Amino acid sequence: MNKTLRFLSLLCVLIITVLFYNGKNKSEIDPIKSTHKTYNIKALKFPKNLNLAGERVPLEKNDVRERMDRELLVNTYWQSNGLLLIKRANKYFPILEPLLKKYGLPDDFKYLALAESAFIDETSSVGAAGIWHFMKSTGKEYGLEINSNVDERYNIEKSTKVAAEYLIKSKKHFNSWTLAAASYNAGNYGISKRLKIQQVDNYYDAILPDETERYVFRIIALKEVISNPIKYGFSFDQEDLYTMPKTKTIKVDTTIVNIASFARTLGISYKELKIHNAWLRENKLNNKSRKVYEIKIPIH
């Protein structure tokens, strides 16, 4: 009896399976062969005027064209990452744009910050931190306070000022915003040494470390894709984009013994205070020197 039941059960499964597949069209049964109907990966057409801060990309050079194409393809067809960058750009660009203008840096350099950190407050594997990814030594050299208690690399306003100083200094040295951007990745000395050895005077004719060879192209690709998202297939509503909550600023020139308790007196959580003041690295502010710090408080 048990064998008969098992046989009948298997027969029923077989009949149901046959009926199921007979009711399906070919595209549902064999999705691999029908992928082209719903997903079309197109070669990208180059815009007429790709540039960084007004300095054009010489696409007539074959190797330059291929390297530019690579970064455009990566930033177009890595869709999840591209959409995240578009969303975060909407949050941080309104903060960066007036700061870049204030400190005399071309607006295009907001894409350098995006390329550096993806606007995530994480420390890189080599110790670079903040949205501009400064190393400790460079940050301290340019006057940022960096210790276990306070790390101003995470202060957007102060780190942007330092980034502008560094890049403008590099621009004066190289007489090129493109080389200034490259030097942000490889250092002024590293770029100068290679240009001298190779007897060239511009980024596009130089052989540079692999990361630096992609660096400027990635910045330009991000500029192109994020400036023209619909053209590159990104679809979203304005409400889908991230925004920065409104804040007010309070000044503190004393020690804060317990920041969590301090936050509670302001009607916010410790987490909310730290999100808007990532430069506070501990649950206290030592401040023996009575320095004036500006702390942002979200407005509910």
pLDDT digits (tens, 9 = 90+) for 93-140: 999 999 999 999 999 999 999 999 999 988 888 899 999 999 999 999
Whole-number Å distance between alpha carbons of 28 and 38 = 12
110 and 207 together in one domain: yes
| 3-class SS letters over 192-207 | HHHHHHHCCCCHHHCC
Q: Which of 200, 217, 240 is the last residue of a domain?
A: 240
For residue 119, being part of any structural domain is answered with yes
Q: Which of 221, 240, 259 is the last residue of a domain?
A: 240
Whole-number Å distance between alpha carbons of 224 and 49 = 10
Q: Is 114 exposed, middle or buried (0-12, 13-18, 19+ CB in 10 A)?
A: buried
280 and 192 together in one domain: no
258 and 236 together in one domain: no
217 and 261 together in one domain: no
For residue 56, being part of any structural domain is answered with yes
Query: Tell me, what's the pLDDT at 124?
Result: 85
Helix, strand and coil content of the chain, in percent to the nearest 5, comes to: 55, 10, 35
For residue 34, being part of any structural domain is answered with no
User: Closest Cα to residue 109, out of 182, 206, 205?
Assistant: 182
For residue 290, being part of any structural domain is answered with yes
Long-range own/partner contacts, residues 26-30 (CB < 8 A, 24 or more apart): none
173 and 147 together in one domain: yes
Q: Which of 216, 240, 264 is the last residue of a domain?
A: 240
174 and 264 together in one domain: no
CB atoms within 10 A of CB 247: 14
270 and 143 together in one domain: no
Block residue for tokens 């190393």: 135
Q: Contact 68/47 with Cβ under 8 angstroms? A: no
91 and 186 together in one domain: yes
Residues with pLDDT less than 50, the chain:
1, 26-29
Instruction: Count up the domains in the chain and report the number.
Output: 2
Q: What is the CATH number of the domain that holds 104?
A: 1.10.530.10
Q: Is 95 exposed, middle or buried (0-12, 13-18, 19+ CB in 10 A)?
A: middle
Which residue range is the domain that position 169 belongs to? Answer: 51-240
Enclosing H/E stretch for 72: helix 62-77
253 and 159 together in one domain: no
Whole-number Å distance between alpha carbons of 153 and 24 = 58
Query: Tell me, what's the pLDDT at 16?
Result: 58
151 and 251 together in one domain: no
63 and 184 together in one domain: yes
Query: Tell me, what's the pLDDT at 126?
Result: 87
Query: Tell me, what's the pLDDT at 29?
Result: 45
Query: Tell me, what's the pLDDT at 229?
Result: 96
Whole-number Å distance between alpha carbons of 10 and 4 = 10
For residue 15, being part of any structural domain is answered with no
For residue 33, being part of any structural domain is answered with no
DSSP string, 162-190: HHHHHHHHHHHHHT-HHHHHHHHHH-HHH
Query: Tell me, what's the pLDDT at 181?
Result: 98
291 and 209 together in one domain: no
What's the pTM value of the predicted model, to 2 decimals? 0.86
